[in-house]
């Protein structure tokens, strides 16, 4: 296989693994020259708990917490509050779907490797100018976890897999908002 074909195949695998199956729709552009999507006058961000019509237990808490942690970690200039009142901008998220599917079976036909796929809708609204800054109805993230075949060492990996998914989502979101990617 030629080098160009390998590079193209590698790039395709990376894009598919990262969940870029649908593009986001950026609505605005920062006017402060920073390259991000957040206007310079925004100092307080309201992050109310994400909605969870998927009915998967505590998924919304993990994603809301990961976003708040990432905002505080990446930009010390923002104040984060959990309500809309008093915020310059409000970030509303919805866990639209949460799916588990087996991807690898063992010799006995039992699922050993599962893929977790989470679809999130996210809107950020500038409260002072009453304008949508960012809107992405289909953030799609995937991760895998393995189940041990030995009943004595069994430990469900679903919780840690969802935690990793939430952190990856928060990192990607903040990169987009702060760096304009």
How does DSSP assign 43-93, residue by residue?
-EEE-PPPB-TT--TTHHHHHHHHHHHHHHHH-TT-EEESSSTT-SEEEEE
14-34 pLDDT, tens digit per residue, is: 555 555 444 444 444 433 334
Domains of the chain: 25-179 (3.30.160.150)
175 CB-near residues (< 8 Å, 6+ apart): 181
Which run of H or E residues covers position 158? helix 158-179
Residue 159: strand, helix, or coil = helix
Positive/negative CA dihedral, 110, 113, 119, 120: positive
Output the pLDDT for position 122.
92
> pTM higher than 0.75, yes or no?
no
88-131 pLDDT, tens digit per residue, is: 999 999 999 988 888 887 777 777 787 888 899 999 999 989 99
34-81 pLDDT, tens digit per residue, is: 446 677 888 899 999 999 887 778 889 999 999 999 999 987 778 899
Is the distance from CB of 45 to CB of 80 less than 8 angstroms? yes
Output the pLDDT for position 12.
61
């Amino acid at each position: 296989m030629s080098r160009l074909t390998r590079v193209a195949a590698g790039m395709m695998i990376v894009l598919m693994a990262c969940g870029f199956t649908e593009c986001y729709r950026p609505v605005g552009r920062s006017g402060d020259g920073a390259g991000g999507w957040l206007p310079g006058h925004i100092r307080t961000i309201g992050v109310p708990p994400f909605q969870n019509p998927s009915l998967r237990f505590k998924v919304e808490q993990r994603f809301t917490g990961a976003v708040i942690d990432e905002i505080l970690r990446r930009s010390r200039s923002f104040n984060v509050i959990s309500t809309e009142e008093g915020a310059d901008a409000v970030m509303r998220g919805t866990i639209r779907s949460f799916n588990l599917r087996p991807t690898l079976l063992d010799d006995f036909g039992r699922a050993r490797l599962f893929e977790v796929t989470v679809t999130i809708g996210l809107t950020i609204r500038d409260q002072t100018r009453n304008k949508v800054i960012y809107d992405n109805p289909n953030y799609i993230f995937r991760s895998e976890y393995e189940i041990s075949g030995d009943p004595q060492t069994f430990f469900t990996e679903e919780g840690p897999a969802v935690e990793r998914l939430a952190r990856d989502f928060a990192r990607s979101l903040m990169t987009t908002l702060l760096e304009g990617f």
